[in-house]
Structure 1
Amino acid sequence: MRKESAPSRLGLRGRTALVFAVAFLVLSGGVLAGINVLTALGVSARSGASITADVSGTSTGAGTGVATVGVDEIARQQLLLWSLIGLLAATVLAAAVGWVVAGRMLRPVRMVTEAAGRISAEDLHERLDHAGPDDELKRLADTFDALLARLEIAFDSQRRFVANASHELRTPLAIQRTAIQVGLADPAPENVAATAEQLLAANRRTERLLSGLLALATGQRGLERTDAVDLDAVVTDQVEVRRARAAQEHTELRVRVDPLVVSGDAVLLGQLVGNLLDNALEYSTKPGVVEVDLDPRRLRIGNTGAVIDPDAISRLFEPFVRLDGDRHSAGAHAGLGLSIVRSIADAHGFTVKAQAPATGGLVVELALT
C-alpha cells in the first residue's frame, strides 16, 4: 500500500521562496566553483611571483632563513572566501525576493480563499471582480465568480422549488381537511357522497403532483443506462393514447413522423413526449389543432391557442409556472409539465426551446442533434 507523504509545514509562499533560494544557490555555486577551479589551474600552470623576506635575529648556527609565499595562492584563497560570503548574502536576498514575489503572485489565490470562507448558502452574491492582466490567476478568479453565479441561481431555484412544492402539497391537504370537517358536521348520506367526491378529487391532484415531482427528480438525476430507442414508435404510441381525448375536445391531431432511433431511456422519452402532447392539448383552442412533426434533427409539437407574451416564454420551463396563474382549480395541473420535459431533455443531451407565434399558440422544439 502506498503511504501518503506527510504534509509540508511550509505554505505555498514559503516553498516558492525556498525554491528561489535553492535555485540561486545551486546556479551561483556552480558558477563560483568553476571560477575557482579555473583560477587554481592557472596558478599551478605558471610559476607565481613570490615574496622574499630576510629573517634576522639571534644566530642559531643554522644560517640565514628565507620565507616565500606565492602571491597567486593568497589571491585564490581570498577569492574563495569572499565568493562564499557573497554567495551566502545573495542567497538570503534571493529568498527574500522570492518571498515578496510569491506573495504578490498568490494574492488572487488568497482572495479566493478568503471569499470562499465568507460564502454560505444564504449569501452567494459576493464576487472577486479581480482586475489585472489576462493571466492564469485572473482566469482563476473569473472562473470562481462564474461558479458563484451558477450556484446563486441554483440555490435560488431550489428555494423557490421547495416553497412552491410545499404550497402545492398543502393545498390538497387543506381541501381534504375541510371536506372531512364538513362531512363530520353533517353526516347526511348526500353530504357524505359529496365529501367523498371532494376527497377523491384532492387525492387525484396529490397523486398527479407527486408523480410529477418524481418524474422531475428522475430526469434531473440523469440516465442510469441507455438503449437504442425507436423514437418514432414512442411518439406514435403517445399520440394514439390521446386520440380519444383530442376527439372529445374537438382538437385535430396532425402527425408526421419519420423513422428515427436515438440513444436514451424509453420510459423517460415517453414521459417527455406525453407531457408535450398533454400541454399542447390542454392549452389548444377548442376546436383547435395540435401538430406533431418528427424528423432526424428535431421533434416539434405546436398548437393553436391564445397569443403568448414572448417575454414569458423563458419562465414556462420553471417548476410550478402556469401562465394563466390557475394551479388550484378542479383538474388544474401544477405546472410541472415543461419543467419535466427540460430535465429529461437535459439528461439525454437534447436541447429544448419554445416559441410563441404571432398568430397564437405555442411551439416546443426538441433538438436531437
Structure 2
Amino acid sequence: MDRAPGLSVRLKLTFSYAAFVMLAGVLLLAAGWVFLTRVTHVGLVFEPRYRLPVLRAFAPIAAAVLGFLLVFGLLGGWLLAGRMLAPLTRITQATRMATSESLSHRIRLPGRQDEFRELADAFDAMLTRLETHVAEQRRFAANASHELRTPLAVSKTLLDVARSDPNSDTRALIDRLHAVNTRAIDLTEALLLLSRADQRSFTREPVDLSLLAEEATETLLALAEKHGVTIETDGELTPTIGSPTLLLQLTTNLVHNAIVHNLRGQGTVWVKTAARPKTVVLTVENTGEPVTAELASTLTEPFRRGAERVRTDHAGVGLGLAIVKTITEAHDGTLTLTPRPAGGLHITVELPAEVGLPAKVELPVK
C-alpha cells in the first residue's frame, strides 16, 4: 500500500526528547525567577522598579541555557533514539532479506530479554516455521508433479504401442488404460481433498466419531475379508465439531491403511473411540510387519508409502496419512503414530470434544 512520506521514528523520538528537555528547562527557569522575585524569607524581594532591570539581565542567561538545552536535547535524543532503535533496524534488515533473498537468515539478537528481544525471537521462530512450510510445499509440488506425470506417461506409452501395432489386443489396452486413468483420478481427488482440508474451507457441525468409525468399518469390511483381516470395534459416544465428510475420510483412510498394511490372512485391526473431559479420541491399531520409530515419523509426509512395509495391490497414491494429518490439524486436533512392539502401528487422533451430548454407547464388534 502506497503511503505519503513522513518523519522517521528516530526523528520523532529525537524531537520528542528535545521538546521534553526544553519544557523541563523552561519550567526550571520559571521556578528560579519566581523564587528570586516572590520568596520573602531569603531577603531577595525586589521592588517593582528593580524587577525590569533584573529581568533584562536574566533573559540572556535564560536564552543561552535554553539554546544549550535545545542542542543537547536534539543531539542526545538522536543518539539515544539510534541506540534504542538499533535492534529494530536489525529486524527490518532481516525482514527485507527474507523477502528478497533467503528464509534461512536469522536475527539471533543478543542481550537480555526485553521487548525487542521477544520480537526478534518471535520473528526467528516465524522464519523457521515459514522455511519448513515452504520446503514442504516445494517437495509436495515436486512429488505431485512426478506422481501425476507417471500415469500420463504410461498412457502415452500404451497408446504409442497400440498405434504402432494395429494387431494389438484392444481389450487388454482398454483395461490397462482404465486402471491408469483411475489411479490418476484418485490422485487428483486426493490432492483436491488435501487442499480443501488445508485451507479449512468447510462448515463445522456436531459429529459423532463413533458413528463415523462404524460407517468406515462397514464400508471396508469386504476389503478386510479379502485380505483375511479381522476388524474389532469398540468405544464410546465421541461428540466433536467439524466436517462430517472430512472426518469420515480421515476415519476411512486410517482403517484402510490398517487393513492393507497388515499380515495377510492373519491380521487384526482394532478401532476404538473414547471420550475424555475436553477431547475425544479415535484409535486405530493394526498388526503387521515391524515399523521403526524413524519410519513412523515420516509416514504422514505426502507420497510417503513406507518402503519397509508390506506391499499390496492396494498401495494407494501415497496421500492417505498425509490427508489424515491435514484433516486432524484443520480440526485443531493432534495425530500420533506409534510403532507396536509386535509389529504394525498404533495411530491416535485426538480432537476437541463437543459438550452436551450424553454418555456411552458400544460399537458393534465385527
Q: Map of 1:40-189 to 2, 5 A cutoff?
A: 40-42=37-39, 74-120=53-99, 123-188=102-167
Deviation of residue 125 (structure 1)? Answer: 0.9
Tell me what 2:357 maps to.
none
Task: State which of 25, 47, 58 in structure 1 corresponds to 2:22.
Answer: 25
Gaps of 5+ in 1: 1-5, 51-68
Tell me what 1:3 maps to.
none
Partner Cα distance (1:239, 1:179) in 2: 37
TM-score normalised by L of structure 2? 0.87
Tell me what 1:205 maps to.
183
Deviation of residue 330 (structure 1)? Answer: 6.3
CA contact (8 A) 1:223 1:347 kept: no
2:197 matched to 1:214?
no
> Secondary structure of the residue that 1:315 maps to in structure 2?
coil
> Secondary structure of the residue that 2:283 maps to in structure 1?
strand
Task: State which of 204, 211, 219 in structure 2 corresponds to 1:241.
Answer: 219
CA contact (8 A) 2:39 2:45 kept: no
Partner Cα distance (2:34, 2:230) in 1: 99
Deviation of residue 232 (structure 1)? Answer: 1.5
> Secondary structure of the residue that 1:301 maps to in structure 2?
strand
CA contact (8 A) 2:148 2:184 kept: yes
Q: Determine which structure has more spread, i.e. the larger CA radius of gyration.
A: 1
More divergent stretch after superposition (337-346 vs 73-82) = 73-82
- Percent identity, please: 31
Aligned length: 344
Q: 1:107 to 1:49 in 2, by over 3 A?
A: closer
Partner Cα distance (2:201, 2:209) in 1: 17
Structure of higher RCO (CA pairs closer than 8 Å, 6+ residues apart) = 2
Task: State which of 319, 331, 342 in structure 1 corresponds to 2:325.
Answer: 342
Q: 1:41 to 1:334 in 2, by over 3 A?
A: same
Partner Cα distance (1:184, 1:140) in 2: 65
Deviation of residue 28 (structure 1)? Answer: 1.8
> Secondary structure of the residue that 2:335 maps to in structure 1?
strand
Q: 1:47 to 1:151 in 2, by over 3 A?
A: closer
Equivalent residue letter for 2:223? R
Partner Cα distance (1:145, 1:253) in 2: 47
Tell me what 2:268 maps to.
289
CA contact (8 A) 2:37 2:44 kept: no
Task: State which of 257, 262, 265 in structure 2 corresponds to 1:279.
Answer: 257
Partner Cα distance (2:116, 2:294) in 1: 38
CA contact (8 A) 1:205 1:331 kept: no
Partner Cα distance (2:336, 2:44) in 1: 93
TM-score normalised by L of structure 1? 0.87
Equivalent residue letter for 1:355? T
CA contact (8 A) 2:328 2:351 kept: no
Partner Cα distance (2:95, 2:333) in 1: 34
RMSD over aligned Cα, in angstroms? 2.5
Q: 1:49 to 1:99 in 2, by over 3 A?
A: closer
Deviations 1:172-199 (A, max 9, x none): 01110111111122222x6111111110
Deviations 1:153-210 (A, max 9, x none): 011111100100000001001110111111122222x611111111001001101101
Partner Cα distance (2:151, 2:193) in 1: 20
Equivalent residue letter for 2:283? R
